[in-house]
A and B are shown apart, each in its own frame.
Chain A
Amino acid sequence: MTAVDTGLAAEYAAIYAYGAAAVHLDGDPRAMAEALESEHRSRRDALLDFYDEHGREAAPAAPGYDIEPIQDAAGAQELLLTVEQQVTAAWRAGVAATDPNEREICLRMYADSAVSLARWRLAIGRPVADPWPGRPA
């Protein structure tokens, strides 16, 4: 499994999680959740193009993903924060790739996911500053 495979799997899982969580949100967090879900879909599409361009076979999304039951808006916010952190961590790991094409797409996805993470933190009133986005604690 390559770094891009891992990142694509993380994007699939994020799209699923946003679909489950956004309905529990209102106001600005809801609008931001919808915007970020759209960005994850765009990233997935760009990744599928990358697979096509390089003659690779992309794995499909799983029918479902194991997420904690969402009780309320606070639970939805926490779930999406965890999802954004995990997606960012997946892409960060890919930057170590020695293949130039892999490193390039992983870096692009990593920067985009760090932006998504920061925007979600801002939307739910969390501190935005983070010198090492996605770095394991």
Chain B
Amino acid sequence: MFTTRRGLLVGAAVLAAAGCTREPAKIITSDADLTAALRTARSLAQGAEALGFSDIAEDHLTHAATLERLLRPASIGEEATEAPADVAALAEAEAAGSREAADACLATDSDYAVLLGEIAAARAAHAAVLA
């Protein structure tokens, strides 16, 4: 088909322009909103558990398990975080986590708006009962 070097180059350019070349493999990138929500959920779970609020920690672990499942096959490593100093600090961390998830809920065009909204609402409720 391409008997000359010029012919080969032209043919390659035509095929590429027509989208006939093989797409390079894409690295699967995780959803940034879900990744942020997962990191915060883990951090809040550690903080709540450290202060003895096991039921609240369990809520965050439930969020984390759901987010980990949605992010597969990506795997987000665990990070050690500093525990809040007291209940007021935990309440503030919950409120900040709620704002983070709410902002993501409003900005996302994915199917995860309700999930992010649920996480924001749960964290807001935690903040209110801790305050």
Contact = CB atoms under 8 A, between A and B. Distances in A.
Contacts of B31: none
Interface in A85-121: 88, 92, 95-96, 100, 103-104, 107, 110-115, 117-119
B125 A103 contact: no
Interface string B96-123: 0010001001100000011001101110
B25 interface: no
Interface of A: 88, 92, 95-96, 100, 103-104, 107, 110-115, 117-119, 122, 127-135
B129 interface: yes
Query: What is the interface of chain A mostly: helix, strand, loop, or mixed?
Result: helix
A53 B89 CA distance: 37
Interface residues of B, number: 23
21 contacts: A92-B114, A92-B118, A95-B105, A103-B105, A103-B106, A107-B105, A111-B117, A111-B124, A114-B125, A115-B124, A122-B129, A128-B129, A129-B55, A129-B59, A130-B59, A130-B122, A131-B60, A131-B62, A131-B118, A132-B118, A135-B118
B42 interface: no
A122 B130 CA distance: 11
Contacts of A100: 106
B117 A119 contact: no
B70 interface: no
A96 B105 CA distance: 9
Interface of B: 55-56, 58-60, 62-63, 98, 102, 105-106, 113-114, 117-118, 120-122, 124-126, 128-129
Given A111-B121, A111-B124, A96 B63 contact: no
Nearest to B59: A131
Contacts of A92: 114, 117-118, 121
Smallest CB-CB A-B distances: 9 pairs: A114-B121, A129-B55, A95-B117, A118-B125, A131-B62, A131-B59, A111-B124, A115-B128, A114-B125
A132 B122 contact: yes
Most buried by A among B55, B58, B98, B124: B124
Given A111-B102, A111-B120, A128 B113 contact: no
Contacts of A119: 128-129
A133 B125 contact: yes
Contacts of A115: 124-125, 128
A133 B129 contact: no
